[in-house]
């Protein structure tokens, strides 16, 4: 494969992430530099430069502040911590990469999708085996597998990121609205066809009880990150192995093409059948959450526990009205395997403070610190260390959301980007979001959608060969 330029700026709009111009950092930490300019790799006694994605909840940002302050006190070193909105982070990284002013350490929630695997491939990340090997006994092996990237410069596959949290794709619904439709969560079928038919059948009686503007399935059909992630789970449901574990593209195999077409048809039919809100074609990354929480949708599919997490302070809603339900079995009857998002922190190879950066990551990855951070994230993501699950925060059997989410981790696989960083371009261009929107707004046929997906993904991989 050729070494590719880090990122195509325009493509990130298709993920709904947006781009920020250099020097327009969002919500920088008070007292630190508010501009990416000058946030470079100076040596000497200067602070360790850390860019960190701003928390979805205030407690999440507070947790990383406290961890950074604790490390400063312990090490005698200082950290220049900048909290940056997710929508701005990719633009900041790209601009800083071009200007050679990258920070030392970076965490962004979209890094595992398209950013970090490609940077590892291009030799732009520091290998961190010396950070992770002493901690391997604490980690879920699948979490470690998910950060073993290949460096095309050296030809090695090794640890190039430190995992801190993980998440599957979750299904949430309103028990109260189910009751209005004459059903309950206990009646949801476990087979694939029966499961989705259950939600479709709930719409008519629900509208009679709650009004004509409510829809049974809040499935995004837009060029949002949620559409991409949700459809990746549908590909897994149909056993569509676009890549082998060796990273080889398998779209020319008839079984793979057939499964791809079946997954496209199954996902799109909810919108085509009138069970999805019409504005789902324009949802951003919060659209499905907003639709669910405003009770415009009976259920939705989301790649974090952010929807119920936002209601944690309201015990009536969190424990009694909202529910997280297990995925059904696959169409062939097999138990569902879950695609996992692995949130991770990296050190950029431009850093002149790599030793200090490794010290900080080794401290961050101590079990008590990861516990504090994941709990600060309000269980939006889950721990990557099994021992952390022994804490009462995670063992609460009354929690209707965390309990189901943890069960998903028992049968999972990493994202395709781990096997081949070229697949990160599939995410960057949001192939699935673009195709779904075309099916919805342009009446693109499933046959044409399948051929378009094969053509576009093949072209991406050809550019890497």
**What's the domain range around 34?**
9-167+340-418
Regarding whether 191 and 221 lie in a shared domain, the answer is yes
- For 179, counting Cβ atoms within 10 Å of its Cβ (0-12 exposed, 13-18 middle, 19+ buried), the class is middle
Mean pLDDT of the chain: 88
Task: Give ∠ CA 114-236-440 in degrees, rounded to 5.
Answer: 75
18-35 per-position pLDDT tens digit: 332 222 333 333 333 333
Helix axes 367-376, 354-364, angle to 10 degrees: 70
Same domain, 348 and 379: yes
Question: Is 451 domain-assigned?
Answer: yes
What local confidence, expressed as pLDDT, does residue 312 receive? Answer: 87
Residue at 404 is within a domain = yes
Q: What is the reported pTM?
A: 0.87
| Rounded-to-integer distance, Cα 142 and Cα 402, Å | 19
Contact 25, 34 (CB under 8 A): yes
Q: Per-residue pLDDT tens for 197-244? A: 999 999 999 999 999 999 999 999 999 989 999 999 999 999 999 999
Confirm whether 1 is domain-assigned: no
Same domain, 295 and 190: yes
Q: Find residue 82's DSSP bridge partners.
A: 51
Please state, in angstroms and rounded to a whole number, the distance separating the CA atoms of residues 405 and 407. Answer: 5
Task: Classify residue 231: in a domain, yes or no.
Answer: yes
Rounded-to-integer distance, Cα 346 and Cα 358, Å? 9
Cα gap 278→274, rounded to integer Å:
8
349 and 373 belong to one structural domain:
yes
| Residue 410: predicted pLDDT | 87
- Residue 302 and residue 376 in one domain: no
For residue 222, the model assigns a pLDDT of 97
Identify whether residues 315 and 352 lie together within a single domain.
no
Answer for the pair 92, 20: CB distance below 8 angstroms, yes or no. Answer: yes
Q: Give Cβ neighbours of residue 58 (< 8 Å, ≥ 6 apart).
A: none
Query: Which tokens belong to 28?
Result: 């920088």
In a domain, 280, yes or no: yes
Whether 101 and 230 map to the same domain: the answer is no
Alpha carbon dihedral 193, 199, 203, 204, in 10-degree steps, equals 50
Model confidence pLDDT, tens digit, residues 294-333: 999 999 999 999 999 889 889 999 999 999 999 999 999 9
- Please count the structural domains in the chain: 2
Return the percentage of the chain with pLDDT > 70, whole number.
90
Same structural domain for residues 258 and 234?
yes
The verdict on 280 and 156 lying in the same domain is: no
In a domain? residue 4:
no
What integer pLDDT is reported at residue 379 of this predicted model? 83
Reported as a single tens digit per residue, the pLDDT across 338-386 is: 999 999 999 999 999 999 999 999 999 999 999 999 998 888 899 999 9
Quote the tokens at residue 35: 């501009």
Please state, as a whole number, how many other Cβ atoms lie within 10 Å of the Cβ of residue 202. Answer: 24
For the stretch 388-406, pLDDT in tens is 998 888 877 688 899 899 8
Q: The domain spanning residue 269 has which CATH number? A: 3.40.190.10
On the CB side of 441, CA atoms within 13 Å amount to: 15
**326 and 391 inside one domain:** no
Euclidean distance between CA atoms 143 and 73, whole angstroms:
29
Look up residue 93 and give its two tokens: 């990284």
Ranges of H-type helices in 82-191: 86-99, 116-121, 129-132, 141-145, 175-180
Distance, CA of 288 to CA of 300 (rounded, Å): 6
Measured in degrees and rounded to the nearest 5, phi and psi for residue 48 equal: -75, 125
In a domain, 57, yes or no: yes
Q: Are both 202 and 215 inside the same structural domain?
A: yes
Among 390, 75, 14, 432, CA closest to 234: 432
Any domain includes 2: no
For residue 191, is pLDDT > 50? yes
| Same domain assignment for residues 410 and 435 | no
């Amino acid at each position: 494969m050729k070494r590719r330029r880090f990122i195509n700026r325009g493509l990130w709009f298709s993920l709904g992430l947006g781009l920020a111009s250099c020097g327009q950092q969002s919500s920088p930490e008070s007292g630190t530099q508010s501009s990416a300019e000058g946030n470079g790799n100076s040596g000497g006694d200067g602070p360790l430069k850390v860019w960190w994605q701003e928390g979805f909840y205030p407690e999440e940002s507070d947790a990383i502040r406290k961890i950074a302050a604790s490390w400063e006190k312990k090490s005698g070193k200082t950290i220049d911590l900048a909290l940056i909105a997710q929508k701005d982070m990719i633009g900041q990284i790209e601009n800083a990469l071009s200007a050679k002013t990258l920070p030392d350490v970076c965490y962004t929630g979209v890094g595992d999708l398209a950013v970090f695997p490609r940077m590892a491939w291009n030799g732009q990340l520091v290998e961190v085996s010396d950070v992770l090997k002493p901690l391997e006994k604490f980690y879920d092996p699948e979490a470690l597998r998910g950060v073993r990237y290949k460096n095309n410069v050296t030809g090695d596959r090794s640890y190039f990121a430190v995992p801190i949290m993980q998440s599957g794709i979750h299904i949430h619904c309103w028990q109260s609205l189910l009751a209005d439709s004459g059903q309950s969560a206990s009646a949801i079928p476990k087979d694939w066809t029966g499961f989705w038919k259950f939600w479709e059948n709930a719409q008519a009686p629900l509208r009679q009880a709650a009004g004509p503007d409510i829809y049974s399935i809040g499935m995004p059909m837009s060029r949002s990150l949620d559409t991409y992630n949700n459809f990746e789970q549908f590909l897994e449901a149909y056993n569509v192995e676009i890549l082998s574990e060796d990273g080889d593209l398998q779209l020319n195999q008839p079984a793979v093409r057939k499964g791809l077409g079946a997954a496209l048809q199954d996902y799109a039919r909810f919108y085509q059948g009138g069970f999805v809100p019409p504005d789902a074609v324009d949802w951003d990354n919060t659209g499905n959450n907003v639709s669910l929480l405003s009770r415009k949708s009976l259920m939705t599919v989301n790649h974090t526990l952010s929807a119920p997490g936002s209601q944690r302070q309201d015990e009536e809603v969190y424990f009694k009205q909202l529910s997280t339900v297990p995925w059904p079995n696959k169409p062939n009857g097999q138990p569902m395997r879950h695609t996992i998002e692995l949130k991770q922190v990296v050190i950029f190879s431009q850093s002149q403070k790599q030793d200090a950066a490794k010290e900080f990551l080794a401290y961050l990855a101590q079990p008590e610190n990861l516990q504090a951070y994941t709990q600060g994230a309000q269980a939006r993501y889950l721990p990557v260390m099994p021992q952390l699950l022994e804490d009462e925060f995670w063992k609460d059997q009354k929690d209707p959301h965390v309990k189901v989410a943890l069960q998903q981790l028992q049968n999972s696989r990493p994202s395709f980007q781990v096997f081949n960083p070229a697949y990160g371009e599939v995410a960057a261009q949001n192939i699935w979001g673009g195709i779904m929107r075309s099916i919805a707004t342009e009446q693109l046929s499933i046959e044409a959608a399948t051929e378009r997906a094969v053509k576009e993904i093949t072209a991406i991989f050809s550019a890497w060969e």
